[in-house]
Chains A and B, each alone.
Chain A
Amino acid sequence: MKKLSVIICMLVIISGAVKCRKANTVIPGDDANFDPRLLGGAATVFDISSASFSSPIPGLSAWNQHIHDLGDKIFSQAFVAAPAPYFGGLGPIFNNTSCTNCHHNDGIGIPTFGTSSSSLLLRISIAGKDPFGGPNPAPGFGGQLQNIALFGVQPEAQVNITYIENYFTYPDGSIASLRTPTYVLTSPYIPLPTGYMISPRMAPAVVGMGLLENVPEATILAFQSANAAAGGAVKGHANYVYNPYTHQTELGRFGLKANTSSLQVQVATAFQQDMGITSYVQPQKSVHGQSQWSVVPDTTGTDIPDSILNAVTFYVRTLAVPARRNVTDAQVMQGEKLFTQLNCTSCHQPTMYTGVNETLPTLSHQRIHPYTDLLVHDLGVALADNRPDYQANGNEWRTTPLWGMGLLEKTNGTPYYLHDGRARTLEEAILWHDGEAHNTKNAFTQLPKSDRDAVIAFLQSL
């Protein structure tokens, strides 16, 4: 009898193990067994309002909810110059005064420089690499240009954007207008180094970040291997980047060139570079070592306590993904089919599973649909920033997750797309794709208008 129960037990364990494995494998065509609205699996919320990116993942414990809410508050808090009774430490050089001013409603922002609603910044570097294989900082400017400053300190430079409109004509005669930005640096506080390179970055939405952080490295590398094995035009690869906190080289997943490996570093570096606020992960002012450093030296200790950095990181990690809408609409379903047929999905990978996270079960083992492979791909010369970032070359950008795309008008008023917000519609964003996406983009332009509209309708349902 004992034996029998042992055998049964073992069988149960084995079948359990088999099931677990199965559940982690994406089976093509298996979508019918799942609710297509659940983009983030259990971490999905049903909200179509301007706050649709701002919900916590379901199932947080009371304490975790408390930490999430604390992080939420700090995310929307404006920081001020030190000394101040509260929220001091801003600057002395910075790009904006709060997280939410750039990540509007936890979404994207507006592609301008220098106002409270501006969400663009410029990275800057010179030829060569830093000791860790990253961009070589521009002497006197560091790796990011801060275009605002406190009194008594000069901004590193001002940035002017101009756009040139060009018309794109479809084979069927329809016309779209694409605008190309040019950035001119004026009034630098010291002369700019010769041969400097700049890269514009618009604040991305911070939705579903905890799920992306929890996608197993093996899954991302499998996308890379599949690209290589296919031998086609799509050659995406992982970016390996330096983590200043662990002092390790790690797989990059965040940032528009996948140049950051963890949410902790992403948040801490945004505090430091975008607002001039120091933390235990990034303890030096962004002005550190520059000639204006003496005007506002590093603070004793850090500007924000460890617990605040941790809370904001936790907040970003535990933001839920809004559910899809109109999934049974005929046009949307047609668009989804075309999205696959056009091979958009070779980079915008629709389905994968997250790994195990014992402390946050809602993020753990989830079947998710982020529409990204977290790899960097060559998108052609028109979109290129011509500035390498670790192993991402000047033509390469990380595949942008598409979940939440259709809600950007809600969260942002006017939506903008791509790394620098040049695209004003999803159609423009598609038309800018080139390089590895050349054939896919061309195939899209060959479609009749009704099919092109269906693809857009599908994207709007995400």
Chain B
Amino acid sequence: MKKIILISVIGIFACSCKKSSSNPSTAVTETQVLTDFVQKLALPEYANLQVKATALNNAVLVLNASPTSANLAAAQQAWRDTRTAWETCEGFLFGPVEDFNYDPNTDTWPVDYHELDSLIANSPNLDVNVVQNLISSLRGYHPLEFILWGQSGNATVDSITAQQKQYMVALSQDILNNIDSLNYSWSATGGNFQKQVLLAGAGATRYTSHQDAFLAIVGAMSDICNEVGQQATGGKLYDPYSTRDSFQTESPFSHNSMADFKNNIIGAQDAYLGTYNGVQGASISNLVSANNISLDNTIKQQFTTAINALNNVNITFETAIFLQRTQLLSAMTALNTLQATLDGPLKVHIQTYVKD
């Protein structure tokens, strides 16, 4: 009797395996997924970031030359657009962006208010050469945000001083320089980091197997969910939430924090689904569904749930920590669940099935 049960169980397993792996819509190769990750996702996303950072730099130059309310609003919008592109790229934060400190050089938190005041008061010739040698808390998006919106979020063209304008021009140029270098480090004619992913397991020194490269991508996806949503010791949502303190929020002057968080998770979702800007490539999702449709569905569902939960916060983060605590808690819970799936079952799946 036991034997019969055993055999029938094996039979069921064998059947179910065959069924899912013969699904024609999910037949992708590992090489295809890595190639599309580079060509349809990473390279276009970094290229878009460069476009947005260039537009930001131009908008800041226009504002400097012609300080009108319309130009201030345009610069603020260009800043938001650059943040959207950057935070989306953070969904797969590995490779040159971490090797060469592009992240701390452009996105250090918190703003060093005290040093920033001293810098502006004491540096008559604030240009990009000065700014690129400053400590990271005086460079990047957040000091620029501080100037474009002001500490209380109510800057006007008249309230931005001449010194602040100089600093603003240097900051946006410094951001652009960093993004240029980051983009160049992936480019085939530059640092050619793309080769490390494209040739994973076929001569790349960084990723000596396909599995190695997939674990880097999945690890980065998991890390960003952790950074935003972790409750145990405080991700970007939890600290301001638990202390009810808006001094701890990510983009406090522009009130852009909720968008920052959402774009982080959308970036990770894109990396999983192999899609960016309407272009669909072979994806990790395809690879997973070939062997485990249920896991693939779970991950897709958990991404949707997390992004919806973030969308349910419909006021600024600085206000939501007082007024929409239930929604924030739901978002953190959804992110924790997603992160646990990425870090657990998805990693195990990659280790089990990606062998070459």
A→B interface (CB under 8 Å) = 48-51, 65-66, 69-70, 72-73, 78, 80-88, 90, 97-98, 101, 105, 114-117, 148, 150-152, 409-410, 412-414
Contact = CB atoms under 8 A, between A and B. Distances in A.
* Residue among A114, A409, A412 with max Cβ neighbours from chain B (10 Å): A409
Given A69-B232, A413-B99, A116 B115 contact: no
Contacts of A48: 212, 215
B21 to A, nearest CB: 26
Contact of B98 (A70, A72, A105, A115): A105
A89 to B, nearest CB: 11
* Residue among A85, A150, A151, A152 with max Cβ neighbours from chain B (10 Å): A151
Chain B facing A: main interface SS: helix
Contacts of A413: 96, 98-100
B110 A150 contact: no
A114 B133 CA distance: 8
Given A66-B233, A78-B136, A409-B206, A51 B100 contact: no
A69 B233 contact: yes
* Residue among A48, A66, A82, A87 with max Cβ neighbours from chain B (10 Å): A48
Interface in B107-129: 108-115, 118-119, 122
Contact of A70 (B105, B219, B233): B233
Interface string B182-225: 00000000000000000000000110000010011001000100
A325 to B, nearest CB: 8
A414 B95 CA distance: 11
B137 interface: yes
B248 interface: yes
A150 B99 contact: no
* Residue among A49, A70, A98, A412 with max Cβ neighbours from chain B (10 Å): A49
Contacts of A88: 114
Contacts of B247: 85-86
Contact of A80 (B99, B112, B122, B219): B112
B9 interface: no
A413 B137 CA distance: 23
Contacts of B108: 78, 97, 116
Pairs of residues from A and B, 5 with the lowest C-beta to C-beta distance, nearest first: A413-B99, A151-B118, A69-B233, A80-B112, A117-B101
A51 B101 contact: no
A432 B136 CA distance: 34
Given A114-B133, A410-B206, 9 more contacts: A49-B94, A51-B219, A65-B232, A81-B115, A116-B101, A116-B135, A151-B122, A409-B205, A414-B99
Contacts of A81: 112, 114-115, 118
B110 A86 contact: yes
A148 B223 CA distance: 31
22 contacts: A49-B215, A70-B233, A70-B234, A73-B233, A73-B234, A78-B104, A80-B115, A84-B112, A85-B245, A85-B247, A86-B247, A90-B112, A97-B135, A97-B137, A101-B136, A115-B101, A116-B108, A117-B101, A117-B104, A151-B115, A151-B118, A152-B122
A65 B99 CA distance: 27
* Residue among B94, B110, B248 with max Cβ neighbours from chain A (10 Å): B110
Interface in B232-247: 232-234, 245, 247
B163 to A, nearest CB: 13
Contacts of A70: 233-234
Given A50-B216, A50-B219, A413-B96, A116 B114 contact: no
Contacts of A105: 98
Given A150-B115, A410-B206, A116 B216 contact: no
Nearest to B93: A50
Nearest to A80: B112
Contacts of A115: 101, 133
A409 B135 CA distance: 25
B248 A86 contact: yes
A334 B109 CA distance: 48
Given A69-B232, A78-B136, A116-B135, A83 B99 contact: no
A414 B206 CA distance: 10
A72 B233 contact: yes
A66 B231 CA distance: 10
B119 A151 contact: yes
A150 B137 CA distance: 12
Contacts of A97: 108, 135-137
B225 to A, nearest CB: 14
B110 A80 contact: yes
Contacts of B137: 78, 80, 97
A116 B131 CA distance: 12
Nearest to B118: A151
A149 to B, nearest CB: 10
A80 B139 CA distance: 13
B96 A84 contact: no
A130 B94 CA distance: 45
Contacts of B219: 49-51
A323 to B, nearest CB: 13
A61 to B, nearest CB: 13
A98 B101 CA distance: 12
A85 B114 CA distance: 10
B218 to A, nearest CB: 9
A87 B109 CA distance: 10
Nearest to A62: B232
Contacts of B104: 78, 98, 101, 116-117
A423 to B, nearest CB: 17
Given A50-B94, A84-B113, A152 B206 contact: no
